[in-house]
Structure 1
């Protein structure tokens, strides 16, 4: 006789979560490799905007972080050409310079000890919403990882290379994992590289869905308790890791026959 048919939903969620911890294995990539893979994945999913956008992750030394070299696009990043920089953006290892706009990352890291990875990009649909000064509307299950977890900054501070911009952005994002910047783009601040990559992809997809839906009618709200339930379900650590591994496998299959290996 089936045992699960008499269980309530919370029991089934807990059961499934424990099963995921047991069965969802992930590759043992290094931090640098995960950053390089994320850059390539973001490029492949419409987050390319020339040299705009950055990715960082906390390094092993407190106050330091890894980032890409200014002058390279997301599609050119490898594990070996990443830089390690300090809070002044001085390069500690690697060749070249960091993007001066990385300064706001330091302010977020200082305000948020829980954040291990930050992604900033200018994908098309997010950027279009930003031009309308319109917040991202979360009304689809796939986007519920963002439910009550994406802020909106209507005041555009201009090029974010100053400390005032960093303070403004760090305050505006608060304790949330994402923020849409009016007239600018997207910032993701997450507990891991895998979570940041998955959330960045979903933000752009949610923006695309929103623009399609709004062209046909009025987007309807979902029940808050169900939105929060879906948020917590999707953002389980093992699920984020498995999602990232899936996108990485897709990417690596596409470049398997080339010498352009992001893990090099």
Structure 2
């Protein structure tokens, strides 16, 4: 006789979360390796836009972070060609220069002690919504990791190389993990590299779903309580790590975008 068919949902959720802690595992990549893998994963998922976009992670020394070198595309990033920079974007280790638009990352890191990774990209469907000055509508279970967790900045401040743009974006995102920037793109500000990568992939998929759905009719709201429940379920740390590991394996099978091994 089955033992769980009479259990409350809350208990089943608790048991499933406990089981994930025991059974879900992922490789022990270094921080630099995870950052390089994120660049390749997002390249493969349509987040590439030439040299635009930055992906950063807090480094070991306070006030410093890792980022890619300006002049390299996401598909060319490896753990060995990443730069370590300070808040002024001065290079502490590595060769070359950081993207000057990284400045707004410094402002977010200063404002949010909980943020350890920032992803900023220009994926096509997110950018289409940004051109329409339309927020991302969360109305599907898969996208609920973003439910009540993505802000919207309608007014474009221009190229984000100044301090005023950094202050504006850091203030607009508040305590959320994501923000859609009008006439610009996507920013994720998350607890880990894995979480930021997975949420960025899902945000672009949600934008594509939104455009498809709106072409056929009016998107209906989901129940807020259920949206919050799904948000917390999907964003469990072990689940994010396992999803990231799957994305890395999938990208490896595709050949890392044709470039060098990102772990080199």
Structures share fold, TM-score greater than 0.5: yes
State the partner residue of 1:184.
184
Q: Distance in 2 between matches of 1:30 and 1:3?
A: 41
Q: Distance in 2 between matches of 1:31 and 1:82?
A: 11
1:246 paired to 2:243: no
For residue 260 of structure 1, report the CA deviation from its aligned partner. Answer: 1.7
CA deviations on 1:86-114 (whole Å, 9 max, x unpaired) are: 00000000000000000000110011000
State the partner residue of 1:229.
229
1:261 paired to 2:227: no
Q: Distance in 1 between matches of 2:253 and 2:23?
A: 23
CA deviations on 1:33-88 (whole Å, 9 max, x unpaired) are: 00000000000000000000000000000000000000000000000000000000
Instruction: Indicate if the aligned counterparts of 2:151 and 2:180 stay in contact, CA closer than 8 A.
Output: yes
For residue 243 of structure 1, report the CA deviation from its aligned partner. Answer: 0.2
For residue 250 of structure 1, report the CA deviation from its aligned partner. Answer: 0.8
Instruction: Indicate if the aligned counterparts of 2:75 and 2:259 stay in contact, CA closer than 8 A.
Output: no
State the partner residue of 2:3.
3
For residue 254 of structure 1, report the CA deviation from its aligned partner. Answer: 2.2
For residue 259 of structure 1, report the CA deviation from its aligned partner. Answer: 7.2
State the partner residue of 1:94.
94
Following superposition of structure 1 onto structure 2, how do residues 37-116 of structure 1 map, counting pairs within 5 Å? Answer: 37-116=37-116
The alignment partner of 1:187 has SS state of strand
Q: Distance in 2 between matches of 1:132 and 1:206?
A: 16
Where has structure 1 moved over 3 Å in runs of 4 or more? Answer: none
Cα RMSD for the two superposed structures? 0.9
TM-score normalised over the length of structure 2: 0.98
TM-score normalised over the length of structure 1: 0.98
Give the total of aligned pairs.
263
State the partner residue of 2:149.
149
State the partner residue of 2:206.
206
The alignment partner of 2:157 has SS state of coil
Instruction: Indicate if the aligned counterparts of 2:100 and 2:161 stay in contact, CA closer than 8 A.
Output: yes
The alignment partner of 1:4 has SS state of coil
CA deviations on 1:166-224 (whole Å, 9 max, x unpaired) are: 00000000000000000000000000000000000000000000000000000000000
The alignment partner of 2:43 has SS state of helix
The alignment partner of 1:212 has SS state of helix
Q: Distance in 2 between matches of 1:29 and 1:6?
A: 41
The alignment partner of 1:11 has SS state of helix
Q: Distance in 1 between matches of 2:8 and 2:48?
A: 44
Any stretches of 5+ residues in structure 1 without a counterpart?
none
For residue 2 of structure 1, report the CA deviation from its aligned partner. Answer: 1.8
State the partner residue of 1:136.
136
Q: Distance in 1 between matches of 2:182 and 2:12?
A: 40
For residue 253 of structure 1, report the CA deviation from its aligned partner. Answer: 2.0
Q: Distance in 1 between matches of 2:112 and 2:172?
A: 12
1:193 paired to 2:190: no
